[in-house]
A and B are shown apart, each in its own frame.
Chain A
């Protein structure tokens, strides 16, 4: 049986009914990983032994009817989530030898629900990148065409779910790192409201923007796991004081009479004709379902990219200071004194993109530049957030492309950072405003998938998933899988 063709809820049903065991399901995926991941490089670590023992434990619980809510379902974790006793590298040489002494809240929540960890997925170094080419562990390939990138920074998570090496994967999103790879790999990726998912144990890139989420094959699958990951965590002071939401209950509600906003600032921009065509077709689907289309204005949205490239590097410049070779991780050979230890450890341990952002951030926070850059960026960030609040007074969700186009070839943009940064032009605003956003497949071009983005008001993940599920119930873009 092609177990990997089943949706998560079907897999869960099968486990409950005893159609197959978690050991069978887990082994099935482990086999696919060992067979297919050689060409994709989507995993940094495969935790085979641990997975099989977790699966066995789940099977025992099913036998005695003591099973947990998601018992025995396999999942892959982005290598940014600390997992006790397992390598957690964040895609960097700096942490290439780092076994976390504790587990992230996200891992613990899913573990408590019985989920089986298949392994840790590849990613851009410290989540900085949009093509998964900055990983110390080598680039990840797009299963739709291995000459193309899977997007980033959660490229490993997207690649492995797309190739069906895992039914679902955790991921993180600071400026688009869930939605952009989901779009480039033909998947459903959701980044919830800032504060929904605990950041404890999720290695920080830019603290005020980072948010955990999932990359899945459908909105239904995403809803099932995202709700289990969510909820207040006293270990994260920025986590919202809200209980775990029910994200599946509204999935089947109709979108009839609801309003979709199209930001004119996005659509005024030059857009690839195939992108516009796919988006227009998606809009037609929603119209046919009775949703109303409204043009809206997000006046300051075009400031998003420059704002982001001040705030994210500034925060990262401090967040990455702890990697100094003193307590854990990479340390340079034979340091001659403490200065040498700091400098060479960081010189040798970080890749070029990480260094570039640390330098930008350090500069933006320097005496004499702080007001002109960081402070101004924070004020503008508030303006962007205000635009969204205003817009959500009249619409339920905001629709746009997720990315400027389909995937691009490996190496195509590596020498032009700005061209690479433009990948996130549609996704960054939701991070700045702390809003939930998701990407679902809505078309293809030259055999490569393309996604559309829906951004919702604060805490309205449920509504976003309802829109996504409604689309997926009436189209089959999300059913298309690469031939690998």
Chain B
């Protein structure tokens, strides 16, 4: 969906902030739980009391090493911290502890796929840093409140090379990062709660032009769809500006999802000089080879590997495998269902069809599904062994969803077993034919499509329980007579 002239191309780089799911903060023992009362999860260190010192939470090193591996990147050892200086009321120390010269992860890449095929996007670096607190501007009558619960929460900032050229690629890259961090269980990746935040650097240039255009940075776009729309808007805006003879200002812009526009936040020309320098309170961290090996030994199967296995082990299509493997929980659910059902293809269809529709309806994630993987597996196995038809299975699925009952109990209680006895089916067919002489005549005089009418009538007579294949076969032979 390229709405702009073919002569232009966009150059996009993404900075993704991922909140790491540690129990305690990056440099203090305070809890990182979301949603506590303001300032109840801020200890002396988070409050930047005089004399306090940071102590690195070593859990984050393991998380960063895993991410580095998943991004095919180098792990820097020693890796070191730096102070980024700026005054802001929710930045208690007046500086943020971040990384500058020796980020823990450097020089990686990620392969993405869009409708236009595969592409490799370079990952410049991923560095550790602490989050700021929050300024609250409502409810204080002309004053502002500060909540430092979030201050010091660990973040990994993942910076891509400017090698993304379309909004679709940007979303594919973002989704891929999201999938990876969820697989690694280093973050819940919840964009709405801010556990994953994305800033997009966008510039445009004429195709064939070597020089990069002036870029803008669009901040904190909080869903995949908004990232796509914000970038799309920004590309079109910049092209429009340039074509109207205006210049692009290097600036930070905010995306307004309601109006679907971006607007300037602050101009980078007047931005802070952050005066980075090595953090003297923390020594450079050496990551011993053994430590890295130990961490890597705990790496789970990653999305790409899983996808390939789904294709080879279960003979799924690339498309199905891709969809299922993108989300770790869905992939696990699928494997559990398949284990019980013994039918990978049917399991995949059910998960992506009925189940996902029902989950969407009630806004649940797969872990909250009211039909367990075991029950779904049993349901599918009952289709496979011919006990019930696919149509009946859908009714049973609904019943399990609302009542939580066992598959076989529902079949038994409601007498839903499929009718597979030829004689019984023949009797039903004879009755239908007898009751519809007019249609029979029309059919026999060449109106083939009435075949469907007869099938429908038979199924209706059997209350959906007749085996459709048998109905087809017998009906065909009777009608042809």
Contact = CB atoms under 8 A, between A and B. Distances in A.
B66 interface: no
A367 B273 contact: yes
Given A201-B52, A328-B50, 8 more contacts: A81-B51, A100-B51, A102-B44, A237-B54, A322-B92, A324-B87, A326-B89, A328-B47
Contacts of B49: 82, 100-102, 328
A342 B281 contact: no
B55 interface: yes
B162 to A, nearest CB: 22
Contact of A318 (B44, B95, B144, B146): B95
Nearest to A367: B273
Interface string A166-208: 0000000000000000000000000000000001111110111
A236 interface: yes
Given A102-B44, A327-B92, A338-B89, A204 B277 contact: no
A374 interface: yes
A200 B45 CA distance: 11
A237 B47 contact: no
B282 interface: yes
Interface string A347-377: 0000000000000001001110010001000
Given A318-B277, A321-B93, A326-B89, A204 B283 contact: no
B93 A365 contact: no
A237 B51 contact: no
Contacts of B44: 101-102
Nearest to B50: A203
B48 interface: yes
A254 interface: no
Contacts of A362: 275
Interface residues of A, number: 45
Contacts of A101: 44, 49
B264 interface: no
Contacts of B277: 314, 318, 365, 370, 374
B85 interface: yes
A321 B53 contact: no
A199 B52 CA distance: 8
A315 interface: yes
A204 B273 contact: no
B264 to A, nearest CB: 20
27 contacts: A82-B49, A82-B51, A98-B50, A100-B49, A102-B44, A201-B52, A204-B281, A208-B280, A236-B53, A237-B55, A237-B56, A237-B283, A238-B282, A238-B283, A317-B85, A318-B85, A324-B87, A324-B89, A327-B146, A329-B50, A338-B144, A342-B87, A362-B275, A365-B85, A366-B273, A366-B275, A370-B276
Interface in A76-102: 81-82, 88, 90, 95, 98, 100-102
Contact of B280 (A315, A321, A324): A315
A474 to B, nearest CB: 40
A326 B145 CA distance: 10
A238 B280 CA distance: 8
A367 B54 CA distance: 26
Interface string A84-126: 0000101000010010111010000000000000000000000
A454 B85 CA distance: 38
Interface in A304-330: 314-315, 317-318, 320-324, 326-329
A203 B51 contact: yes
A322 B97 CA distance: 13
B55 A235 contact: yes
Interface in B76-90: 83, 85, 87, 89
Contacts of B144: 338
B404 interface: no
B53 A237 contact: yes
Given A365-B85, A366-B275, A238 B281 contact: yes
Interface in B341-373: none
Contacts, number: 103
A380 to B, nearest CB: 15
Nearest to B42: A327
B94 interface: yes
Contacts of A104: 51
A364 to B, nearest CB: 9
Contacts of A238: 53, 280-283
A234 interface: yes
A104 B53 CA distance: 11
A343 B56 CA distance: 32
A367 to B, nearest CB: 5
Nearest to B83: A318
Contacts of B275: 317-318, 362, 365-367, 370
A324 B144 CA distance: 15
Nearest to A322: B48
Nearest to A361: B275
A442 B115 CA distance: 84
Interface in A219-259: 234-238
Interface of B: 44, 47-56, 83, 85, 87, 89, 92-95, 144, 146, 273, 275-277, 280-283
Contacts of A317: 85, 275
Contacts of A328: 47, 49-50
Contacts of B281: 204, 207, 237-238
A317 to B, nearest CB: 8
A321 B52 contact: no
A322 B146 CA distance: 15
A321 B277 CA distance: 14
A327 B47 contact: yes
A269 to B, nearest CB: 30
Contacts of B48: 322, 327
B344 to A, nearest CB: 51
A317 B276 CA distance: 12
A207 B53 CA distance: 10
A185 B83 CA distance: 38
Nearest to B146: A326
Contact of B52 (A200, A326, A374): A200
Contacts of B276: 365, 370
Contacts of A90: 50
Contact of A202 (B51, B94, B283): B51
A202 B50 CA distance: 8
A327 B46 CA distance: 11
A151 to B, nearest CB: 23
B368 to A, nearest CB: 40
Given A237-B56, A365-B277, A322 B51 contact: no
Contacts of B47: 327-328
Contacts of B92: 322, 326-327
Contacts of A234: 55
Nearest to B93: A322
A201 B48 CA distance: 11
A321 B87 contact: yes
A82 B44 CA distance: 12
Contacts of B51: 81-82, 100, 104, 199-204
A373 B277 CA distance: 12
10 interchain residue pairs of minimum CB distance: A321-B94, A207-B280, A365-B275, A208-B280, A322-B48, A201-B51, A203-B50, A203-B51, A82-B51, A367-B273
A125 B92 CA distance: 21
A200 B87 CA distance: 24
Nearest to B84: A318
